[in-house]
Structure 1
Amino acid sequence: MKIFRKLRLLFLLLSVFFSAQTDELPIMAFHSFTPQTSNLMNFKKFKEAGFNINHTIFRTNDQVQNALNLAQKVGIKMIIYSDELLVDTENTVKKFRNHPALFAYFLADEPSPKDFESLQRLIEKVKKLDSKHPIYINLHPNYAPSTYLGNLSYNVYVDKFLKTVNVEILSFDNYPLADNKILSTWYDNLEIIRNNSQKNSKPFWAFANTTIFNNYRQPTLGGLKLQQFSNLLYGAKGLQYFTYITMDDEYWKKHNFGYAIVHNNGKPTPTYSLVKNLNQQIKNLSWIFTKSKVDSVFHIGDTIPVGTKRLNFLPNKFKVFKTFGRNALVSFQSIGTQKFIIIQNKDVFKTMPFNYQAQLGVYVIDNKTGKRKTITTNANISSIPPGDILIFAYK
């Protein structure tokens, strides 16, 4: 029992640390800039879209230095990488460890289990020089080929990583909307990540896809909301987007990547305004999601995703709680004695009617402003937009 209390305390301290770094929920974009687009105007535009952490793979320390200086000017942080970080670790860490815009060091993306021990040795090398800043490593999704996971089950892959590699953040990518349909294994991925996050007292970060490639279509507001609010309802303490800039080197062209949040010259695509609006909505609600603990998560529908649990009971404080047969996600969260019941419409195109009747003392948190709204104890029918949420609260 004492060990559990210590782990819980560590998790809370880590959550406070990451929120204190930005005073808000971390919102990061993967592949934010190129050396050519790293200028003050583009960094300001990045911040205006609601991002507070920039992740860019630069090749040289000079490029990193320029980006960190720009980040400091506009008031955002950076997860840094340069080739020199790997080949000249000591001098690179010493060069940047005291920069005000530094958030973390990026060491690997989607590592194989055979790389875990060498990554841990690199982390130890970095930590001897800078124990203050976190290490960022992003894991495979559960649909990665088994050979990428070392022929391990996904749960064992994540568990082995956390036992071997001492990171402060558990990050993974999963792009769940292929042809605008939810991948059948996405929520199982979230279940596994959430369970390992809680077991190891490591806050987790999750992604939404914002670029076109293969069978991933142009993002819609409903699709973006579905991804990021599902992440938050499972307990994510940081949100990420793949990608911010439209990558245009030979690799990305060969694999037909295109049309991200901004064009390859930094000018916004139509997705920019969608992301900006969503990030503002999330920021208005971040007072809940940065501090809350996810107590349980359930699904509603004729069939529910593999690896998840069906909501087969009437939530406390409710006399009616119906989705008219539509698919929904329900998250039970708490901040001390404050309880939250959050329901999400899992359709990316259609509004979901929701019939409820709550007891006295239940109120709604406006999902756009984050402010409290009173409701009656009469039966009500609300309309939840595609991918969006309805938040109830009580003590």
Structure 2
Amino acid sequence: MNRRALLQAAGMGAGVLAAGAATVGRVVAATGGSDPARAAASSADLPLTGGPDFPVGLYWPPHPYETTLARYQEITDAGFTFLITGNYQLDEASANQALDLADRVGLKVLVAGDPRVSVVAQHMTVTDDRSVPASITTADATDWIRSASGTYARHASFAGLSLYDEPGTDRFADLGALTGIVRSATPGLLPYANINRGNGARYTRFVRSYLDTVRPALISFDRYPFLTGGLDTDYFETWAIVRAAALDAGVPAWTYIQSTGFDGHVTPSASQLAWQVNVSLAYGCKGIQYFTYWTPDPARGEGYTQALITTDGRRTPLYDAATTLNTGWLQPVGRQLKPLVSESVQHANDDPLPTGTTPFTPGDQITAVTGDAAILGLFRAADDDGTRHLLVVNREPGKSATVRIGLDRSAVRTVSRFDPSSATYPRASRPSDLDVTLDAGAAALYRLSPR
């Protein structure tokens, strides 16, 4: 059992085992031959994925005894925009308590662990063939989803339902059925799930199968790259696989960043937090989530160390680091990048080149990259007007870098660097080589205006 599943299972207790899995064909037949997700609102119209604000979320919020207005204000002050319930918030009463406080501080909430949702998602087969063991009809599953949603509907903070964490392929069809039901029966809510990490062709097939079968409003995954033995460079390939699949499916990609230590993983530094955020942004990420915010208690296993808040409620240095990162960089730069389309991600001066990454080659705007290793994310508007946004990320999480970037003067009319403090591009100048100096794990965003 992996760390996220362990945290959830310890709060829920044991359940019945599902027998068999629904097929997509059975789900479509049970809904009268239509696919509810096809007719549902697009991601641009849903909470968190829609709108201009970049979603910054947390997993493992304060437990019920610490679910107070002061604690939820503390979350908001740190630059978070939403949370996923958990840490013993696994019933109607505790979820409504969290939602009530979130209403008051302006947070959004994805409700996880509601038994009416979790039992269907994890243990039942959605089908109108009553000969299937442990099955539930489409109509009854819809009633359960409506019942769960109705329990929380009075709250402005209620953004959606967390349906499943890290499903296996045997649960994809039923998760797809529930996702379609949420999107058709409660079209103003976000149906959320998170998938596991992986590499290579097998993981590529896994991700494609998830998107094709579940038809989610977004794709979210977790991979935590800071190991006791050093950086896990397979992290880049996981991101490359998810990025390509998300672009092909036309859905936003979210990820989790490592914000605690646990078995085989170190407690990250401030620069390592920033590095995960900036690498993810370069790969086209549209939503950042922290794993974890509150430190899981020792009884849950896997040797969790301090996260942003300790088990007894004290702030750690990571809380201050996250506050600075979220409010001073991620929120403003995220608003710039959220509506843009990831055009390319290239690694420059990165030797040896990590598995699954693309080396830098000169293009229409950028002619050369010299100096230290960097990751270059190039973005365009959905309605392409020729403008490009360039995110330059320090490849190294532990030391500063200087990079010189050559621009094609025949293609780029002006260049300006984004100022996160004012959320503007204050000085547009004629294109020349860009000398970019970056702190460990840091990044810089440029707007390249076309001729």
Distance change in 2, residues 1:129/1:218 (3 Å): same
Counterpart residue identity of residue 283, structure 1: Q
1:180 and 1:223 in contact (8 A); partners too? no
Distance change in 2, residues 1:44/1:179 (3 Å): same
Counterpart residue identity of residue 361, structure 1: T
Shift of 1:375: 4.9
> Which deviates more, 118-127 or 299-308?
118-127
Counterpart residue identity of residue 67, structure 1: A
The alignment of Structure 1 onto Structure 2 pairs a total of residues equal to 374
CA distance in 2, matches of 1:378, 1:202: 35
- Residue 374 (structure 2) pairs with residue 328 (structure 1): yes
Shift of 1:129: 3.7
CA distance in 2, matches of 1:239, 1:20: 11
Matching of residues 248-263 of structure 1 within 5 Å: 248=297, 250-251=299-300, 254-263=301-310
Shift of 1:361: 1.4
1:364 and 1:375 in contact (8 A); partners too? no
- Residue 238 (structure 2) pairs with residue 189 (structure 1): yes
For 1:167, the equivalent position in structure 2 comes to: 216
- Residue 272 (structure 2) pairs with residue 226 (structure 1): no
Superposed CA offset, 1:17-61 (max 9, x none): 455756410111011221121110000000000001011222210
For 2:189, the equivalent position in structure 1 comes to: 133
Among candidates 64, 84, 95, match of residue 64 of structure 1: 95
CA distance in 1, matches of 2:399, 2:334: 25
1:134 and 1:167 in contact (8 A); partners too? no
Superposed CA offset, 1:219-239 (max 9, x none): 212211111111111111111
SS at match of 1:153: helix
Shift of 1:179: 3.2
CA distance in 1, matches of 2:229, 2:275: 11
Distance change in 2, residues 1:353/1:380 (3 Å): same
SS at match of 2:436: strand
Superposed CA offset, 1:332-368 (max 9, x none): 1112322112211111111101224544512222355
Shift of 1:390: 2.2
- Residue 344 (structure 2) pairs with residue 296 (structure 1): yes
For 2:435, the equivalent position in structure 1 comes to: 381
User: Which of 1 and 2 has greater Rg?
Assistant: 2
2:47 and 2:159 in contact (8 A); partners too? no
Counterpart residue identity of residue 347, structure 2: H
Matching of residues 239-318 of structure 1 within 5 Å: 239-248=288-297, 250-251=299-300, 254-280=301-327, 281-300=329-348, 301-313=350-362, 315-317=363-365
2:373 and 2:403 in contact (8 A); partners too? no
Please, which runs of 5 or more residues in structure 2 have no aligned partner? 1-38, 120-143
Shift of 1:327: 2.1
Distance change in 2, residues 1:157/1:379 (3 Å): closer
1:22 and 1:52 in contact (8 A); partners too? no
1:285 and 1:369 in contact (8 A); partners too? no
Distance change in 2, residues 1:15/1:231 (3 Å): farther
CA distance in 1, matches of 2:161, 2:432: 53
TM score, norm. by length of structure 1 = 0.87
2:260 and 2:306 in contact (8 A); partners too? yes
For 2:445, the equivalent position in structure 1 comes to: 391
2:108 and 2:158 in contact (8 A); partners too? yes
1:51 and 1:279 in contact (8 A); partners too? yes
Among candidates 10, 26, 29, match of residue 58 of structure 2: 29
SS at match of 1:344: strand
SS at match of 1:208: strand
Matching of residues 48-59 of structure 1 within 5 Å: 48-57=77-86, 58-59=89-90
> Which deviates more, 157-166 or 115-124?
115-124
For 2:21, the equivalent position in structure 1 comes to: none
2:376 and 2:390 in contact (8 A); partners too? yes
Counterpart residue identity of residue 447, structure 2: A
Q: State, as a whole percentage, how many aligned pairs show the same letter.
A: 21
Shift of 1:218: 2.1
TM score, norm. by length of structure 2 = 0.77
Shift of 1:163: 1.5
